[in-house]
Every structure is written in C-alpha cells, then in structure tokens.
Structure 1
Amino acid sequence: MRHSLSFDLLVLSWIASTAHGFGIFSKSPSKPATNFAKAPQSKLTFLQSLETLDTMNAATKERTQMVRDMTNDNPTSQPGSKEGFQPFAAGLWSVIYAPHITTMSKLVGRGFTPVWYDLKQDGTMISHARFDVKLPLLPEKSGWLSVSGTYGTQDDNRVCRVDFDKAWIKWNDDNNNTEDAPYPTLEDVAPSLEKTIIQTLGKWLFIDSFSVFPVSYLDDDLIVFDFELLGTRICARKIKKETP
C-alpha cells in the first residue's frame, strides 16, 4: 500500500466525526450572487462579516453569535421536512462557517477546506472535502476525502438526516494523477487493497448518531444545521444550482 493504514484510519475517523459530508467535482465552481436586498438583516450582517462567501471562514465569538441571531429569523417552516427543504436542497453547497472544523484544522496543520455537498433532486448526494494535514511522526499529506449516499428527513419537521454508504480517498501525491481534485465517484478509483480497506472502514465509521441534524435556518442559498454531539452549528451556502 502506498499510504500507511494508520493515516487512513485517522482521516476516515475525521469523516465520521464530521459526517455532514462534502461535495463537487471542480476546484472553482461558478457561484450565484446572494440577493442581499431581500436578505434579513441578521443574515446580511453575518455574510458581510466573512472574508469569503464560498469557502471556510475563521471562527470567532462574534460570528458564532451572528449565526445564532440569524436562526431567530429562519424563514422556512419545518426546514427539516421534505416539504421544507425540497425547493432549495438540490445544488452545490459549500461550508462557510464551522467552528469545530476550524478548531480541528489548527491542530493538524492547514486542515480541511473546501468542504462541499453536492445534493441531487432525487435525494442522493456526493460529497468531498480537501485535507492538508501534518501530524507528528507522519509525513504531510493532502488530498480529498469523499463519501456518497442519500439525504432526507428524520421527523418530517425540523430534523434531517444523511446516510452514507460509500467512502474513498484521492491522494494528491499519487504519481499517476497530479490533478488536485477528487475522484467523482467510488467507481472512478482504481481497484486496490487500499480502496477495499477504506470502503470497509468507512462503513464501520458511519455511525447513526452522527447522521441526524436539526436545521436551524434555511432559505434558497443558506442553511444552518446543528451538530449536536459537539454542541456547534454548521453554515453552508449554495454556490451552484443543480444542472439538468
């Protein structure tokens, strides 16, 4: 195997602990402009505080409070229900604020960004996250963690869920593939013992308790959902609509 099994276990453990997913196939997808004129003031205040609207931003106490204020202005009734999220879900979403990921990134080097979700109208999703980590006794590594599965509602009210059943990794130092981009699907990964091990480990690490997420805010291009096990919230912004 090209990479140590211990490192594979480490990055797959991160997938389990941040089971909200990733997602898309190009490094710089086109993104629609946010309609600031129609945004509630709390959303406008939060977005204007950010350095970027399409990748991860640094976590601060002020921004965390802004996210909390924004959830008080949630415009979507029952955002975790199929009726609530179906008009908005399909498309490419990028995580723009996630304090637990920011904290983890400080511990392992450059960390994890971008984090993308590619949601389809039929309820399937493919997700990718780029990692760049340096840990004691291990060489610096970069690449892409990927998962795929389905999304839906847990209680037909406020809580949604994701169910992943496939996992794979693209290492940026593979000699036969120098492009800094993920493999689009598991089927695009060449057969190998490592592929089999990662897929098996991924299934073991997809814990049901990591799969349920209350939705605190939802509109046509922004979502805030709760990662209750870590007591934090994640904010993602739609940066590309689904193409037919």
Structure 2
Amino acid sequence: MAYMMRVSTALFLVSCASAFSFAPLHHQLRRAARETGVFACRTHLEGGDGKQYVDRLVQSQSSNPVGGPFGNAGAFELRGKDAGIEAWLASAGTTNPTADPGQWDSDDKAKRLAEGVWEVCYAPHISVMQQVLQTKFSPIRYNLVVSEGGERRIISNVRYDSAAFGQGWLNTDGRWESIDKNTVRIVWKKFWWDIKRDTPSPVPEEEQAGWVQALGSLAFLPVFSTFPVRYVDGDTCAFDFAPTNSCIVARKVG
C-alpha cells in the first residue's frame, strides 16, 4: 500500500510539474485561468520602457539577489497576472534585442546569453495551478550548459511543497536544440525524484526505477516541450507555453 501511494504521488507531481499534460487537469486549469482573467490582458503600457517595468517588478519580488547564493528557497515569489508584464509581453517580439531568439548554433551566442541558471519569475498559469492543487512549486529552475563540441544541455529542478504530498524535488536532464530561428525544443532524457530533500540531488549515473522514467516520459511529451521564444537578453527571457496559451518569464540567477 505504501508503495502504491508513492507511485500515485509521483504520477500526480510529475503531471503537475510538466504543466498539466493530462487533459482533465489541463482543462480544469484553463477554466480557472479564464475565471481569474489570466489570459485576458492584452493592453499596452502608457509610455516608459516595458523591460524597465519588468526589471523593477521582478526586483521588488526578489528574496535573493540576482547572481547571489541560492538553495531550496526560490528567488522569486510566483504571483498572478500583472497587467504591466502582460503589456510588455504583447510587444516583446518587436523590442527583443537578440536576433533569431530561437537559433543557438553559435557557441559564442549560447555562452554569452543562454548559459547559466535561470529561474521562472512570472508564470500566471502556475500561480493558478498552485491554487487549484494546493501545492507550491518554487523554485522552478533551468541550468543551461554549453559543452565543448556544441552540446546544449539542460537540467531542470522543481521544488514542490504540499500538505498532502510533502516536499521534495522533481528533476529532469536533457538537451535543448533549435527548431527554427524563433523556436526551441527540449528533449528530456532522464528523470529522477528527490523525496524530502532540501536541495536537489546531482544527475544520477543510473536511472531511477523504471516507473519514474515511464511517468516522466509520459508527462513530458514532445508537444509540451516546444517553446517559441519572444525575448532574450543578458538577464531575462520570455517564451510561450502553447498548451495554456500563456507566456513564461525567467531571470538569470547564477
């Protein structure tokens, strides 16, 4: 019985962290998002620099300095929809300083702009998900590595904290690659689950139990791993998550 409960917990959490790959939860979250107006805002900022607005807002929500030490606590508090950020996102494609934001064949470009630790700082659909599931997902981090020979590696660590399911980390390891000049695809290869750990464990040399790999592969289907990129600069990126018709903003924290 205890083993089955662990399996059920893993299925639930992996499904959530993969941004609701399973249809019933996906539709429930979309209804909740519509009710809270997550997808409704498409206004424009009245004057000023939209990116400066994002910088100020993100810094005001930051609990750790950018580039500073980070552990199990997230640097940012994920909140609901913000009209100013939504307005910036609506025009981010025209103000993006990086040409071809989905094209990363150049090692120099990849090391200069992409490589490092990124943390999600704005994702209204995740805020809705946290309310619906009564589970906090923070931090949500991506460690992008540019290796010699052109390999583009990504390690994702997501901390969950729930009264029903306890706390721990959901982890994935894979590679990121360009589809076209505006779109990136992530190919996940390895999945592992840290239960009741304060910090995520390193990438294991051996795969965890087969059911962990199977659930991870089910949750991270290719259709949920393709991301049109709206904006990239030295400290901020914004990309679309099509299944929820929403956009995610991340900041470089290391």
| TM-score bracket, shorter-length normalisation | 0.7 to 0.9
Paired residue secondary structure (2:249): strand
Aligned to 2:113: 88
Indicate whether 1:129 and 2:129 are aligned: no
Return the alpha-carbon distance in structure 1 between the equivalents of residues 236 and 20 of structure 2.
19
Indicate whether 1:111 and 2:111 are aligned: no
Is the alpha carbon distance of 1:207 and 1:2 closer, same or farther for their aligned partners in structure 2, counting shifts above 3 Å? closer
Offset at residue 182 of structure 1 (A): 1.1
Aligned to 1:25: none
Indicate whether 1:207 and 2:225 are aligned: no
Deviations 1:188-230 (A, max 9, x none): 88x6xxx331122212332111111010000111100000121
Aligned to 2:61: 52
Aligned to 1:176: none
Return the alpha-carbon distance in structure 2 between the equivalents of residues 119 and 111 of structure 1.
24
Paired residue secondary structure (1:201): helix
Aligned to 2:98: 76
Return the alpha-carbon distance in structure 2 between the equivalents of residues 111 and 196 of structure 1.
26
Relative to the length of structure 1, the TM-score reads 0.76
Question: Structure 1 unaligned runs (5+)?
Answer: 20-39, 173-178
Aligned to 2:244: 230
Indicate whether 1:185 and 2:203 are aligned: yes
Offset at residue 119 of structure 1 (A): 0.5
Higher helix share: 2
Offset at residue 48 of structure 1 (A): 1.1
Give the count of matched residue pairs.
Answer: 205
1:161 corresponds, among 174, 185, 195, to: 185
Return the alpha-carbon distance in structure 2 between the equivalents of residues 232 and 224 of structure 1.
10
2:126 corresponds, among 96, 101, 121, to: 101
Relative to the length of structure 2, the TM-score reads 0.73
Amino acid paired to 1:97: Y
Deviations 1:137-164 (A, max 9, x none): xx34111000000001011x10011010
Return the alpha-carbon distance in structure 2 between the equivalents of residues 89 and 205 of structure 1.
25
Paired residue secondary structure (1:95): strand
Aligned to 2:18: 16
Structure 1 segments of 4 or more deviating over 4 A? none
Identity among equivalent positions (%) equals: 28
Aligned to 1:197: 211
1:216 corresponds, among 182, 205, 230, to: 230
Question: Structure 2 unaligned runs (5+)?
Answer: 22-47, 63-74
Amino acid paired to 2:19: S
Return the alpha-carbon distance in structure 2 between the equivalents of residues 18 and 71 of structure 1.
26
